[in-house]
Amino acid sequence: MNISSILGLLIASAVFVGGILSSTSNWKIYLNFHAFIIVVGGTIAATLVSFPIKQLVKLWKVFFAKILGRGSAPHLKVIEEVIDLSRGIQSNDNYLAENVDKIKIHFLKEAIQLQVDGGISDAKIDQVLKKRSEVHFIRYEEEAHVFKTVARFPPAFGLLGAVAGMIALMGGLGSPDSFKQIGPAMAVAMVATMYGIAIANFIFVPMGEYLSKLNKEDHLMRNIVIDAVKLLRSREHPVVVEEHLKSYLLSSERSMLSTPKAS
């Protein structure tokens, strides 16, 4: 489980609820059914208009798989696997073919399988891998784009709810005791805006940014694989492979590699 995402959601909820409870003794003024329906219902409606329902269903799977799933550093894992492969082929020419099914990183497994199967020139293999990398980056960025787009809807519908409340308030100014009703009525009108800001900034904006971060890490991993295939193809020494691939890492990340020392 991704502890960081879970902890962030819990802290956001605690901040929101704590802010409400500490700001007034009458916390029930923050509960407004009409404001909630305008913001949530409007956001759902706008989302359905903007994106196909199949894509939205898929995004729920993305949410549980990436936001609530186990955090990972794929670029570190792929480097460790490549170093292991480079050591294996030094003593066994068939090491790649014999161990391709044991490779855990899917893109690396695809790349090695293409190399093992043959029938395609090395230059064409590099082109295929490059194309797949770019397509994955574009498709994964679309997922993040959906969350970032949806994040614009709640504040807009919150403002709509506030405007509707203000119109109702102004319409009743001529009634008896209307002056005494201004404060409570304005508070209710602003609740919709609060709902919209909270939903956007506590849920959709962080989710979109996190998915963008994961996509960039995945793209880095795929570029490492493309480079690694060239190194394995030329049968570079494991030390050369390791040091070359470490160039993709920050100095703080290099110490995190769990690779045995070359003999």
Structural domain includes residue 260: no
Q: Is residue 19 part of a domain?
A: yes
Cβ(6)–Cβ(68) below 8 Å: yes
Per-residue confidence (pLDDT) for residue 157, from 0 to 100: 93
Distance CA 87, CA 74 (A): 20
Please indicate, yes or no, if residue 261 is contained in any of the structural domains: no
CB–CB of 176/196 below 8 Å?
Answer: no
Q: Which residues of the chain have pLDDT under 50?
A: 262-263
Q: What's the confidence (pLDDT) of residue 263? A: 44
Assess if residue 224 is contained within a domain.
Answer: yes
Range of the domain at 217: 3-254
Residue with structure tokens 């802290």? Answer: 11
- Residue 250, domain member (yes or no): yes
Measured CA to CA, the distance from residue 33 to residue 227 in angstroms comes to 56
Q: For residue 190, tell me if it sits in a domain.
A: yes
pLDDT at residue 132 in the model: 94
d(CA 28, CA 21): 9
- Check residue 22 and give its pLDDT: 78
Inside any domain, residue 259: no
Whether 210 and 182 have beta carbons less than 8 Å apart is answered as no
Residue 59 lies in a domain: yes
Q: Using H for helix, E for strand and C for coil, what is the string for the chain?
A: CCHHHHHHHHHHHHHHHHHHHHHCCCHHHHCCHHHHHHHHHHHHHHHHHHCCHHHHHHHHHHHHHHHCCCCCCHHHHHHHHHHHHHHHHHHCCCHHHHHHHHCCCHHHHHHHHHHHHCCCCHHHHHHHHHHHHHHHHHHHHHHHHHHHHHCCHHHHHHHHHHHHHHHHHHHCCCCCCHHHHHHHHHHHHHHHHHHHHHHHHHHHHHHHHHHHHHHHHHHHHHHHHHHHHHHHHCCCCHHHHHHHHHCCCCHHHHCCCCCCCCC
Q: What is the pLDDT of residues 24-77, one digit of tens each?
A: 777 777 888 888 899 999 999 999 999 999 888 887 777 777 666 655 568 888
Domain count, the chain: 1
